[in-house]
Amino acid sequence: MRLPIRNETGSQVWDGNQIRLRKKGMSVIWGRMMILIILCMLFMASSEAKTLTLGGSGDVRTLSEAIALAQPGDEILLGQGYYDGALVDRNISICGSSDAILGLPSVGALILVAPGCRISNLSIKAGGSGPALELQSSDCVIARCSLQGKATGISVTGKNNSVQDCQMDSPLCMEIKGSGCSVQNCTMRGDMGIKMTDSMLNSVQGCSVLTSQGMQIDASRLNRIENNTFSGMSFGASLSGSSENTIQGNNFSGSYVSGLDIADSIGNKVKCNRITGGKLGISLRRSEGNNLTANVCRKNERAGIYLDSSFENRLDGNELSGDGNGILLANSRDNLLRFNNASRNSYGISLRGSTRMILQGNNMSGNEYNLRIDAGDLTDGSSGHYFYLHEIDSSNLVDGKTVSYIVGKANVEVPSGSGFVGLVSCRNALIANQNISNSSAGMLIINCTGIRIDGCNISRCESGVDLLNSTIWSVNGIRAADCKTGFAAQGSINGLFERDLASNCSESGFRAEGSLNLTWQGCSAISNTKGLAISGSRLCSVNNCSVRESKDEGILLTNSHKCSLKGNNAFSNERGISLVSSNACQLLENNASLNKIDGISVMQLSSTDLLRNMARENGQGIFVQSSSHMKIDGNTLDHNSRYGLRMSGASRCNVTENSLVRNQIAGINLVDCTGNLIYHNVFTENGLQNAADNGENQWDLGPEIGGNYWSDHPVSGNPGNSSCKIPSSGVDRYPFQDPEGWR
């Protein structure tokens, strides 16, 4: 090998032969490069995309023929006309004019099995049961197409496909079983808009879904449904067995059963949606860990937001107005409600049959009933206090007033100015000088002992004061007006209502159920449907109370035994005092007058005493039906428009010392009665007849004790021996000459 020559300075120089060899090598390299450039140009020319035209004077006549001729990247243009569908098995574009219609009469119209296809500006119709368009491949774009199928518009089983600006009209507009797909700005009509099954990472944005049922998402996750408009009548969007989806910024309107229904689902985000006019706005059923944030629910018939059997969900900053319930939680637990605004609903927030809820910063205003807490459908009181164990702090407001909800405390004085009072499992508490309105229960007392309620005013509540399973309590000087029930006690013992007033209550002024040893002392009930109603209770006392202008009964006892009513006034009611199936009770010195039907009525009971009562100017003074072993003694029964005393199907009763005067039909009327003793009564100037009896009853106790005084049968002697025949049946053998001549 020849070494390069160096000059005097040591630099390398080349001799002539070396220079000639170098020039020759460069020429060879340049020649090869030119050949490569020419080959590349020839290849690019051969692979340049072609455009094939169908229709008119186009290149081919059928779409299948065009696809067979096309190379990847080619475009097929469809002119005006009707074309048979095809299978697309290569990466091409198919574009139509506005009048290009693609379809097959018995099967689906277009099936894409190649990736990266683009279909645009076509009207695609399927005449058979198959979809109008099947996307079995990936990375395809469907744009500005109109799709109609007898069953399905588009079926997507591939990944990362995009459907944009399309019009769909099918029983099922779109079925998605693939993942990573995008549906944007489409309009859908038919029975169901989109059905998404076993898929993930799809997005539906900006669509107008005008189908009966909007969307159904089953067993899917991480999908996004955003900024769409839904209008229909079944369900707007329903999720079942799905998780971590985002439903955001959508507008649901129409007569939906539920605008947004989430069942058996976990961890979904529902944010900034607007739902109006359905049965339910948003419903969660058997679901957990979902976030409902900043949604607007208006004018939904049953509830804006409804949770059933759901737990550990978060409801934050939602607006509920004009709904049946703003928020209704049923049979649920451990949910968090924060900063929700419920206004102008029938109920603001309802917790029914639920437990361990946390309420913070919620605002309830202008609702018919702001806050409702109860055991739901469990009405027998057996639930105890479990369904009232909630954390509801004073940051919650009702009509601008704080909620005082206290659990498990002793020696408590409730702050004044409360808008709702709830005491659960408390001892020795005082509630005084409160003014409360528009809550389900103005004061809710659950499983408490030693509670005293003094000097409060309650109005427009379902129950003014509601006591459940509580003992040794007193309610003094409370006024409850325009409620459903003014005062209610259930499963409670040793309680006192004293000087309380219930007025204009649509169900009952006072109501007690399943209770023991309760006392009403000096209370008043005015213009209620029922004045005072006691059922399923024992050893209760009603003393010196006034009950008037009730639409039904003034005082009603049902299945309540060993109770006493003394010194009460029952005026101008439908019925003054009524006892039904209540044994061993005593009615003493009551005044039941001016009532429309009966002053006092007793039915289907035994061993009850009616003593020294007054019943004047009623339909009937006293009415006894299907009862036995009663003592009816010393009562004043006069000027009633029908009978002073009417008995039907009664037996073994003693009727003595009663004054029956100027009753318009008869003083006493016995129908189908047997074994009763009627003696030492005064019958004076009763209308058609003093008495009538069609049974086997005894009207005197012999010559020593005698019978009764009859104004229409004068005799000599007290008693006399000129018998008085009772119309229909019976005879008084020893009537008296003088009223009360036996004394």
Q: Is residue 32 domain-resident?
A: yes
In the chain, the largest separation of any two C-alpha atoms, in whole Å, equals 180
Do residue 178 and residue 307 come from a single domain?
yes
Q: At which of 376, 406, 427 does a domain end?
A: 376
Q: Which residue, 289, 376, 280, is CA-closest to 327?
A: 280
Q: Is residue 209 domain-resident?
A: yes
Contact predicate 283/260, CB 8 Å? yes
CA–CA separation, 478 vs 413, rounded Å?
17
DSSP string, 280-310: EEEEEES-BS-EEES-EEES-SSEEEEEES-
- Model confidence at 303, pLDDT cuts 50, 70, 90, reads very high
Angstrom CA distances, 390 to 101, 259, 386, 578, 618, stand at 63, 29, 9, 40, 50
Q: Is residue 357 domain-resident?
A: yes
Between 53-57, 73-77, 437-441, 480-484, the lowest mean confidence (pLDDT) is in 53-57
Q: At which of 311, 341, 376 does a domain end?
A: 376
601 has which bridge partners? 578, 623
Do residue 76 and residue 17 come from a single domain?
no
Do residue 102 and residue 212 come from a single domain?
yes
Which residues contact residue 622 at a Cβ distance below 8 angstroms, ignoring those fewer than 6 apart? 598, 599, 600, 601, 602, 610, 613, 615, 632, 635, 637, 644, 645, 646
pLDDT tops 90 at residue 45 = no
Q: Which residue, 246, 245, 247, 216, is CA-closest to 232?
A: 216
Do residue 146 and residue 246 come from a single domain?
yes
Contact predicate 636/611, CB 8 Å? no
Q: Which residue, 173, 174, 156, 54, is CA-closest to 112?
A: 156
Q: What's the mean pLDDT in 310-339?
A: 98
Do residue 106 and residue 243 come from a single domain?
yes
Q: What's the mean pLDDT in 127-154?
A: 92
Which helix or strand (DSSP H or E) is residue 124 part of?
Answer: strand 123-126
Do residue 4 and residue 144 come from a single domain?
no
Query: Which pLDDT score, from 0 to 100, does residue 21 have?
Result: 40
- Model confidence at 33, pLDDT cuts 50, 70, 90, reads low
Sign (positive or negative) of CA dihedral 96, 102, 108, 114: negative
User: Which domain CATH number covers 248?
Assistant: 2.160.20.10
Q: Which residue, 499, 489, 434, 484, is CA-closest to 466?
A: 489
Query: Which pLDDT score, from 0 to 100, does residue 56 have?
Result: 64
Q: Is residue 252 domain-resident?
A: yes
Q: What is the pLDDT of residues 487-540, one digit of tens each?
A: 999 999 999 999 999 999 999 999 999 999 999 999 999 999 999 999 999 999
Q: Is residue 603 domain-resident?
A: no
Do residue 2 and residue 125 come from a single domain?
no
Query: Which pLDDT score, from 0 to 100, does residue 99 have?
Result: 73
Do residue 107 and residue 150 come from a single domain?
yes
Do residue 138 and residue 230 come from a single domain?
yes
CA–CA separation, 643 vs 624, rounded Å?
12
* Number of domains the chain contains: 2
Q: Is residue 511 domain-resident?
A: no
Q: Is residue 120 domain-resident?
A: yes
Q: Is residue 187 domain-resident?
A: yes
Query: Which pLDDT score, from 0 to 100, does residue 484 have?
Result: 96
pLDDT tops 70 at residue 3 = no
> Within 10 A of 526 (CB to CB), how many other CB atoms are there?
18
Burial of 589 (0-12, 13-18, 19+ CB in 10 A): middle
Do residue 101 and residue 10 come from a single domain?
no
Q: Dig out the tokens for 158 from the structure.
A: 């591939």
Q: At which of 360, 376, 392 does a domain end?
A: 376
Q: What is the pLDDT of residues 551-592, one digit of tens each?
A: 999 999 999 999 999 999 999 999 999 999 999 999 999 999
Query: Which pLDDT score, from 0 to 100, does residue 38 have?
Result: 45
3-state secondary structure 6-65: ECCCCCEECCHHHHHHHHHHHHHHHHHHHHHHHHHHHHHHHHCCCEEEECCCCCECCHHH
Q: Dig out the tokens for 165 from the structure.
A: 């600006």
> Within 10 A of 487 (CB to CB), how many other CB atoms are there?
30
> Within 10 A of 22 (CB to CB), how many other CB atoms are there?
10
Q: What is the pLDDT of residues 64-86, one digit of tens each?
A: 888 999 999 999 998 888 888 89
Do residue 113 and residue 88 come from a single domain?
yes
Burial of 8 (0-12, 13-18, 19+ CB in 10 A): exposed
CA–CA separation, 117 vs 112, rounded Å?
8
Q: What is the pLDDT of residues 233-285, one digit of tens each?
A: 999 999 999 999 999 999 999 999 999 999 999 999 999 999 999 999 999 99
CA–CA separation, 232 vs 276, rounded Å?
11
Do residue 70 and residue 4 come from a single domain?
no
Q: What's the mean pLDDT in 87-91?
A: 95
Residue 360 domain boundaries: 55-376
Query: Which pLDDT score, from 0 to 100, does residue 2 have?
Result: 43
